[in-house]
């Protein structure tokens, strides 16, 4: 099963799941609201069922969410109601395929560790942003996680219960972001079985 099929299958359950750590989620939502200005055109890659897009889009000029899974995008589109800003839209797409437009900020939340071609995607994001543009990500760091993840993950993947994941440490993620040309302006570590790092980067 390739990963698109994995996410298509996972989407209905994913849509119903509660956010695992609501406090941590709210902290990063608050930081994103702080950084995203009202005139911003925002692109969210790997937007899933659009929950974060719905939270953030009222505060910006336009917001496009893309995801490789058409089932995720169908669920996100079903949430579009008349009281939401018309500038919120969703479309199917690979993360490295940045839709042609002008963006002030690109978001990749819980995504980078899922990308086999993360360097290509980071380079595409960098190219799509103007100088001063923001790249905001939240990334799972499996190599910094609990020891048993290294045993459990291959079994879950074999059973079709987990997607391909790039295991990395915080240091490796920082190197990826810096090598892509970004400067890091803020980060928040979120401890968990697989810790996450929320990062705000700027294109110089
Ligand atoms: C863990 S979910 C995160 C969803 C959402 N960003 C969130 O934080 O709730 C990962 C999402 O990335 C999408 N995804 C995985 N690989 C992708 C790729 N190569 N390009 C675009 N989206 C991808 C999946 O379909 C899924 O919706």
Average pLDDT, the chain: 94
Average pLDDT over residues 83-112: 93
Choose the weakest-confidence range: 18-22, 73-77, 107-111.
18-22
Contact 80, 88 (CB under 8 A): yes
With cut-offs at 50, 70 and 90, classify the pLDDT of residue 190: very high
Cβ count near 56 (within 10 Å): 21
Average pLDDT over residues 159-174: 94
Q: What pLDDT is recorded for position 19?
A: 86
Cα distance between residue 123 and residue 112, in whole Å: 12
| 3-class secondary-structure state, position 87 | coil
Q: What pLDDT is recorded for position 135?
A: 98
Structure tokens, 176:
């990826």
Mutate which of 111, 115, 192, 197 for ligand 1 pocket (most atoms within 8 A of beta carbon):
111
Q: What pLDDT is recorded for position 81?
A: 84
Domain limits for position 16: 3-202
Average pLDDT over residues 39-62: 96
**Count: domains in the chain:** 1
With cut-offs at 50, 70 and 90, classify the pLDDT of residue 169: very high
The reply to whether the predicted model has a pTM over 0.85 is: yes
Q: Where are the beta strands (DSSP E) in 22-130?
A: 41-45, 62-67, 88-92, 105-109
Mutate which of 68, 74, 97, 122 for ligand 1 pocket (most atoms within 8 A of beta carbon):
68
Contact 104, 37 (CB under 8 A): yes
Ligand 1 binding pocket includes 44 (Cβ within 6 Å): no
CATH code for position 137: 3.40.50.150
Q: Residue for token digits 């994001």?
A: 125
DSSP lists the bridge partners of residue 107 as 44, 136
């Amino acid at each position: 099963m390739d990963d698109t099929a994995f996410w298509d299958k996972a989407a209905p359950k994913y849509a119903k799941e509660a956010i695992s750590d609501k406090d941590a989620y709210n902290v990063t939502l608050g930081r994103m609201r702080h950084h995203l200005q009202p005139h911003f055109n925002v692109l969210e890659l790997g937007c899933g069922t659009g929950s974060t897009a719905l939270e953030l889009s009222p505060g910006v000029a336009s917001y496009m969410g893309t995801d490789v899974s058409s089932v995720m995008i169908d669920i996100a589109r079903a949430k579009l109601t008349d009281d939401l800003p018309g500038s919120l839209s969703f479309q199917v797409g690979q993360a490295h395929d940045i839709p042609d437009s002008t963006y002030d900020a690109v978001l990749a939340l819980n995504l980078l560790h899922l990308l086999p071609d993360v360097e290509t995607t980071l380079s595409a994001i960098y190219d799509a942003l103007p100088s001063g543009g923001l790249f905001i990500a939240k990334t799972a760091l499996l190599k910094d996680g609990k020891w048993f993840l290294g045993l459990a993950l291959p079994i879950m993947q074999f059973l079709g219960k987990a997607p391909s994941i790039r295991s990395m440490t915080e240091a490796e993620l920082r190197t990826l972001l810096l090598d892509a040309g970004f400067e890091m302006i803020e980060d928040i570590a979120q401890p968990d079985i697989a810790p996450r790092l929320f990062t705000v980067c700027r294109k110089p």
